[in-house]
Structure 1
């Protein structure tokens, strides 16, 4: 079952919407699904639905709401891809993480889940790293996270498990950035990195031409095991 819910900001001065997918029975835990630059589109909603099928309460907050509520874009349409890049340029990532923190707070206070994880894609992968460092998310996963080399100074604040999926031919994350990620994170006892040789950005998208079925299934199986182990 799915619905749209409203979440108050941490300051309590406004609210934003979120897509919520509920499991058939009592949730195993809750997982926040952090959007790509394309908004809470059909692919992100499908990620939520799949998690609900696995027994989790899954919530995807609309993180672009301060710029434009309800953004839904298709990465395979060039004009929409360009619009998504423009939105990313206007997006305040620090505020975005605070909205993720507000979502964690909402789930704990109003939806009855003590254990809460997060999984993000693309921009959401970067926000997942920030979430692991700045919030009390119990377990966090990032797919093809961008710009993590600029965040490595925050790695010491990560106290709960974090997993990152890294395609080695990511057009948005060049080899030197990937090298810095490994140098900065391989020795961290809470962080696990998985490389996917020869694959590009977006390989685990639910829909569209970017998807690589075999690699997506492998990454998603690792994510499922990670959440089962760390969220109970």
Structure 2
């Protein structure tokens, strides 16, 4: 597979986008905008991009912390260092960054511009569905994205369930049953609001899984549930996400 970096313009400066391309590009491919956790476009996120490319998808990972500098990565054991970075991100800034990445994807000669979706984790899970409210996506995948139902102290993100009615693409959401930061009541509220907004959505709750269970670099990694989660993701993309290869 191939890897490259591109810069896109935002109102507050250039943003780096990491692009991973499948090994065989004999036809235009679907693309997924990979939205980072609270720790930057790190080794794990780049591995996610590789996994997607191995399955035939072009992966684009924008550096959402670009306003604080280029290439910012925070250790998983140092969440306090991530707090000020999160505090500087607003819904509007995320929307701008994702829109610019979407526009970049549409210009790439190896991307099928009719098949562009989002996939995000943690903070990126929040962003993945937010993008679907504002961008004409083909699919949106959100894993353990918090902050959708209520504000969180110290974060500039705002809940946006009232915008679910603007979502036009199918949605897949995954949560850990043991995720203390996103209790069952919040998941139920998200499910209810998506239903009221007539969004075609599938929500999967993974038994014995904690926040971040898909990431093999976090202490909360759950190999069994991570394996199921990735199988669910790729099956859903093909069957329901309109992202056929």
In the TM superposition, 1:142-181 aligns within 5 A as 142-149=142-149, 150-181=159-190
SS at match of 1:105: helix
Q: What is the match of residue 47 of structure 2?
A: 46
Q: What is the match of residue 6 of structure 1?
A: 6
Q: Is the 8 A contact 1:48 1:59 kept in 2?
A: yes
* Superimposed CA distance per residue, residues 31-88 of structure 1 (whole angstroms, 9 cap, x where no aligned partner): 111000000000000000011111111111101101222111221x2xx221112311
Unmatched runs of 5 consecutive residues or more in structure 2? 150-158
The range that moved more, 170-179 or 153-162, is 170-179
Runs (4+) off by over 4 Å: none
Q: How far is 1:209 from its partner? A: 1.8
Q: How far is 1:178 from its partner? A: 2.0
Q: What is the match of residue 127 of structure 2?
A: 127
The range that moved more, 37-46 or 180-189, is 180-189
Q: Is the 8 A contact 2:165 2:199 kept in 1?
A: no
1:194 to 201, 204, 207: 204
Distance in structure 2 (CA, Å) of the matches to 1:189 and 1:73: 35
Q: How far is 1:109 from its partner? A: 1.5
Are 2:105 and 1:96 equivalent residues in the alignment?
Answer: no
Q: How far is 1:158 from its partner? A: 0.7
Unmatched runs of 5 consecutive residues or more in structure 1? none
Q: Is the 8 A contact 1:46 1:206 kept in 2?
A: no
Question: Normalization by structure 1: what TM-score?
Answer: 0.91
Distance in structure 2 (CA, Å) of the matches to 1:163 and 1:193: 6
SS at match of 1:231: coil
1:227 to 214, 228, 237: 237
Aligned length: 228
SS at match of 1:9: strand
Q: Is the 8 A contact 2:29 2:110 kept in 1?
A: no
Q: How far is 1:103 from its partner? A: 0.8
Distance in structure 2 (CA, Å) of the matches to 1:25 and 1:112: 10
* Superimposed CA distance per residue, residues 129-163 of structure 1 (whole angstroms, 9 cap, x where no aligned partner): 10111111111100001012222111111111111
Question: Normalization by structure 2: what TM-score?
Answer: 0.86
